[in-house]
Chains A and B, each alone.
Chain A
């Protein structure tokens, strides 16, 4: 268990370093980026260099970056001259809301579908739907849903983040591709589990097929799905950036895009490293969850 945690920390460190290296590779002078369109005099330049510590050796800057990052200080935005932590913190909640709700929808939907579409015809129909959902770009799904439910039927607001209604369409858009993949994984897992000898034994005890499915096979099918948790989150974050654009929602997506376009590296860096951190945490949690579900892995 300790080993897993240690591995997680190592991965996180490697990710932060890789991102930092990317920052270093950014063309153009950092001072130029900070000045932007503002006044540009040698005095201001030297002030900026002193203030940002840009004249220290690269290794020291790197160590300083790691140290501060570990303490939650993610630097200051070149563009907005404010602590990145504040900028990100303000926009975090809308994105989080969206991601969590979409995750919930996706998981619930896929569980329902996997368990209920066992007959051949239902299975084929669901498989086709899953294939389409997984292959469709999320922005297309969002646009279509917008057209139909917002523009045509006026059921949901077109943009913004006011109220629960504004959350529905974006969350559904994000949830559908996720459900597409998860349903396949779950259904495959169920199929395989139901052919195992323990399923035969369970049937031979006089259990209904539904009991065999839910009480025995489902737990086995969840195992491979648990390992997908980290990946799931990645999709959610990436998708959120796009979806927020489509639905005009505030959130990390907007912040990130603006930062990318203006080469506001500290912000981009912070968002990217933050997402890596969450991924590592979720993965470690998933590994532990695996231990909970599969007793064979626990050391007795």
Chain B
């Protein structure tokens, strides 16, 4: 019996990522720093609430890396402590959205036509509301605060994940290897557990990472409008709002927290996309 002699195909595209590019490395590093700051702010910074009436609205300097705000509080300290708020809200909201999204999405993808139609229309109805307005509606009912933000953003971003999971379930359900598994006498449950779920859930962690960036952005926006943790909580969006009145004379009080938000979201997106490219090589086509 001859051994197969044709030339094996090279991997799909040459787009395999090279060694960690500097951008990705920086992004990951920043995220790690942020995580540490969220868990143990005391490591980097002092008291975010300590007001110093003699050093109000000072420009950034060696003593105050980000300057001071209108109450004399060190902006850098507040930013570091704020990491916890923003990240916690973002993670919690994304967690809710992803979990509920997976449950509903798999259900819709595996269900019969009518149940799927009903579920899909519900997703459509939810996503018909712009994220911010839906969140505002929820907050009008439940009042401002961290928990409100978490639930509001969670509900608003849920349809996105549900739709992706549903679409993926659809594709996987009809995939050739599922058909093939029938030939080996796999029961439906076995099929779902062995083949469907692992292939459907594969892309989720990466999507969640990129979605986390959006959640953080939304949280900052809502806080800016005063819907988030109330002062004197050092939440980034709220800091921006507070500092707005002093924009002409002390730009650092509002701009710098905003820059940190931007960097966080960028890092999450960059790392997420990098992971996506890594795993795309492992997934089908």
A residues contacting B by CB (< 8 A) are 7, 10-12, 14-15, 18-19, 22-23, 25-27, 131-132, 134-140, 143-144, 146-147, 151, 230, 233-235, 237-239, 241-242, 245-246, 256-257, 259-261, 263, 265, 268-269, 271-272, 275-276, 279-280, 283
Contact = CB atoms under 8 A, between A and B. Distances in A.
**Chief secondary structure at chain B's binding surface:** helix
A26 B262 contact: no
- Interface hub of B213, B227, B247 (most chain A Cβ within 10 A): B247
A131 B270 contact: yes
A238 B132 contact: yes
A132 B262 contact: yes
Nearest to A17: B125
B247 A265 contact: no
B221 A268 contact: no
B258 A137 contact: yes
B225 A263 contact: no
A18 B266 contact: no
A276 B265 CA distance: 27
- Interface hub of B121, B130, B142, B254 (most chain A Cβ within 10 A): B130
A234 B254 contact: no
Interface stretch (B40-48, B133-141, B180-188): B133-141
Interface string B123-166: 01110111111101111111000000000000000000000000
A256 B269 contact: no
Nearest to A233: B130
Nearest to A235: B130
Contacts of A139: 221, 224, 237, 240, 258
A132 B266 contact: yes
B251 interface: yes
A19 B136 CA distance: 11
Interface string B214-232: 0001001100111100000
B141 A22 contact: yes
A131 B272 CA distance: 13
Given A10-B121, A135-B213, A137-B237, A276 B129 contact: yes
B115 to A, nearest CB: 15
A272 B134 contact: yes
Contacts of A7: 121, 124
B128 A276 contact: yes
B248 interface: yes
B21 to A, nearest CB: 12
Contact of A259 (B125, B140, B213, B224): B140
Contact of A19 (B137, B139, B247): B137
CB-CB nearest 10 A-B residue pairs: A238-B132, A140-B258, A14-B125, A234-B130, A135-B265, A276-B128, A238-B130, A260-B140, A135-B266, A136-B262
B208 interface: no
B225 A242 contact: yes
Chain B interface residue bracket vs A? 35 or more
B269 A135 contact: yes
A147 B133 contact: no
A12 B139 contact: no
Contact of A238 (B131, B258, B259, B266): B131
Given A136-B258, A147-B247, A151-B248, A26 B129 contact: no
Nearest to A141: B258
6 contacts: A134-B265, A135-B266, A241-B133, A268-B136, A272-B137, A276-B129
B248 to A, nearest CB: 5
A268 B121 contact: no
B255 A144 contact: yes
A204 B265 CA distance: 44
Contacts of A242: 132, 221, 224-225
A271 B226 CA distance: 19
Contacts of B255: 140, 143-144, 147
Nearest to B125: A14
Given A135-B262, A139-B258, A260-B227, A238 B240 contact: no
A275 B130 contact: yes
A11 B124 contact: yes
B99 interface: no
Given A135-B266, A268-B140, A140 B261 contact: yes
A161 to B, nearest CB: 19
A23 B141 CA distance: 7
Interface in B240-280: 240, 244, 247-248, 251, 254-255, 258-259, 261-262, 265-266, 269-270
Given A134-B265, A269-B137, A275-B133, 6 more contacts: A7-B124, A14-B122, A132-B266, A140-B258, A245-B225, A261-B226
A143 B258 contact: yes
Contact of B131 (A19, A23, A234, A276): A234
Contacts of B262: 132, 135-137, 140
Contact of B259 (A10, A140, A147): A140
